[in-house]
Structure 1
Amino acid sequence: MTAYEFSADPSRLDVDWIHAILSTQAFWARGRTRAAQEAAVASSRNYGMYADDGAQVAYARAVTDGVTFAWVADVIVDPAHRRQGLGTRIIDGLMADLEALGLKRVLLKASPEGHELYRRAGFDRLDEPETWLGRRLR
């Protein structure tokens, strides 16, 4: 059985793997360029799950001001390693890191399939969703 390790160490990130899986398998990032992925990684707090051989098998990132707010994005687990609790573990590690900052709010946008994972991690629908707006730029 494979042992997995959570890490927030940016030096462990496998940006080749991150770009490959997101740009080909994640509907929200399909076609993302390598340059865009590198910029997203550089501007975020990054988290990974690693197999016992050191290979990265899951990724998530948070965009934050480090004081009041964070947005969780690009949460993905390698298909060969799904159904083993890695989504839960990476979100738990990410949240522990963000909670230590003393943030007021952490948001994310989830597919319907991901709602249960995020609810177990303490996420819920916004109290006043009618007060939140967004604007698509591209």
Structure 2
Amino acid sequence: MEIAEDGFIFSDDKNRIDPQAVHHYLSKESYWAQDIPLEVVRRSIENSLCFGIYKEARQIGFARWITDRATFGYLADVYVLPEYRGLGLSKKLMSLMLFHPDLQGLRRYMLGTQDAHGLYAQFGFKAVEHPERLMAIVVADAYKQAGDQ
């Protein structure tokens, strides 16, 4: 799938993704993946359903679904570069991603966010009804530990 709109290209073609650009944003700019190694970013791209936003040849946005394409999808690593925010690109990207053919009929779509609740609520996301049922293992500073070894 590739859609051009207002000078931007939205695509699910992994061959278009610039792993260095995604790595730079995630490792330096994001609050959730500081210091993530480039090889981890490459592996995450290989094993996910990925989407990019491009202005000419430059990658200016990214998002990926971690999914079995049958029952569950977890939305991760969503970003639009700061200079392109406020143009509706995140909304357009979310619309394309939620209606992607590989994600239809899933039982659960999930994500975690610190600051974009309003965006995701527009697409039907809401707080988990029974958070006490969810559990996680969280490895603090996982990427720093991996780099120190």
Q: What TM-score, normalized to structure 2?
A: 0.84
Matched, 1:14 2:14: no
Mapped to 2, the partners of 1:31 and 1:100 lie a distance apart of 30
Larger radius of gyration: 2
Residue segments in structure 1 that go unaligned for 5+ positions in a row: none
Mapped to 2, the partners of 1:122 and 1:101 lie a distance apart of 14
Residue segments in structure 2 that go unaligned for 5+ positions in a row: 1-5, 143-149
| RCO higher in structure (CA 8 A, sep ≥6) | 1
Q: Percent identity?
A: 29
Mapped to 2, the partners of 1:82 and 1:8 lie a distance apart of 20
- 1:19-57 deviation per Cα after TM superposition (whole angstroms, max 9, x unaligned): 111110001111001011111111111001111x12111
In the alignment, which residue of structure 1 is the partner of 2:85?
82
Question: Segments of 4+ in structure 1 off by > 4 A?
Answer: none
Alignment RMSD: 1.5
Equivalent residue in structure 2 for 1:115, among 100, 117, 124: 117
Deviation at 1:99, TM superposition (A): 6.5
**Alignment length, in residue pairs?**
135
Q: What TM-score, normalized to structure 1?
A: 0.91
Q: 2:137 corresponds to which letter in structure 1?
A: R
Mapped to 2, the partners of 1:136 and 1:116 lie a distance apart of 25
